[in-house]
Amino acid sequence: MSQSRITIMDRHGLFVEVVGHVLERRGYRARAIAVGARSAAAQVRRVEETRPDVVVLGVDFGIGSEDGDAVLSELVDRGHPVIAVIDGDDPVEQGAAFAAGAHAVVSKSRPLADLLEVVDAAAAEEPEQLSCSERARLVAIYRDARDRHHAAHRRFASLSRKEQEILRQLMAGRTVREIASRSVVSEHTVRTQVKSLLGKLDVSSQIQAVALARRSGWGASPRHRAG
């Protein structure tokens, strides 16, 4: 175990330095890499240069995120056991990591000892402790959420430019009267457009439309992607 090479990669420099230091004290040869604005391919090459026996990878596995899948899947394809470290305990993110091929998943909200235990097991080539049925359950949760997410975005894509603008104004908290005033049209016109967008989104109220848009990340600024 003392000769095992562990590579830690994460967006947060403090995290990789602390974990790397702790692993060094446990006898591992640790390499800490802070992720910058690099492509997924560049990140994989950087990890490969360290010739790791185990990779501890901190990535965003939110629905719609591509960086986690791209980096993790490529490392797994190259034969590296990857421990995915996620921010919380969201079963969707856990399932996304397992679907991409993660050997194990650990939340940053858990004690450091939990991560060290998983690293020890992976370095010793011990099987992952999570049961196959639980792993399959988490993957199923992720795939269901992914399918619903994609279906919602197809509905948003069906909105006209005017309907999209009205939805953005509803998300900003404006009333139909305020939207009509700003657009210099009648309230009846705006209500007709609101009714149309509700039908396309398959919801029954403005509140539901706004909630769906926020859950889906519609209208938000593009998130940082590594790939």
Give pLDDT tens digits for 121-172: 999 988 878 889 999 999 999 999 889 888 988 999 999 999 999 999 999 9
Same domain (yes/no): 174, 114:
no
Q: Report pTM.
A: 0.76
- Say if 92 falls within a structural domain: yes
Residue 41 and residue 118 share a domain: yes
| Structural domain count of the chain | 2
CATH number, domain of 193, equals 1.10.10.10
Over range 191-215, report the average pLDDT.
94
Claim to verify: residue 131 and residue 165 sit in the same structural domain: no
Mean pLDDT over 77-101 rounds to 91
Looking at the domain assignment, is residue 227 inside a domain? no
User: What is the model's pLDDT at position 223?
Assistant: 40
| Average pLDDT score over residue span 205-215 | 93
Whether 85 shows a pLDDT value over 70: the answer reads yes
Report the pLDDT averaged over residues 7-36.
Answer: 90
CA distance 86 to 130: 16
Q: What is the 3-state secondary structure (H, E, C) of the chain?
A: CCCCEEEEEECCHHHHHHHHHHHHHCCCEEEEEECCCCCHHHHHHHHHCCCCCEEEEECCCCCCCCHHHHHHHHHHHCCCCEEEEECCCCHHHHHHHHHCCCCEEEECCCCHHHHHHHHHHHHCCCCCCCCHHHHHHHHHHHHHHHHHHHHHHHHHHCCCHHHHHHHHHHHCCCCHHHHHHHHCCCHHHHHHHHHHHHHHHCCCCHHHHHHHHHHHCCCCCCCCCCC
Q: What is the pLDDT of residue 98?
A: 93
In this structure, the number of other CB atoms found within 10 A of the CB of residue 126 comes to 10
Last residue of some domain: 102, 137, 172? 137
Range of the domain at 175: 158-216
Q: Which residue has the tokens 């996304």?
A: 96
Domain co-membership, 129 together with 168: no
pLDDT for 197 equals: 96
Q: Which two tokens stand for residue 46?
A: 């950087």
More confident position, 35 or 62: 35
Cβ–Cβ < 8 Å for 62, 90: no
Tell me how far apart the alpha carbons of residues 24 and 8 are, in angstroms, rounded to a whole number. 12
- The pLDDT of residue 206 is above 80: yes
- Domain for residue 186, yes or no? yes
In this structure, the answer to whether residues 42 and 115 fall within a common structural domain is yes
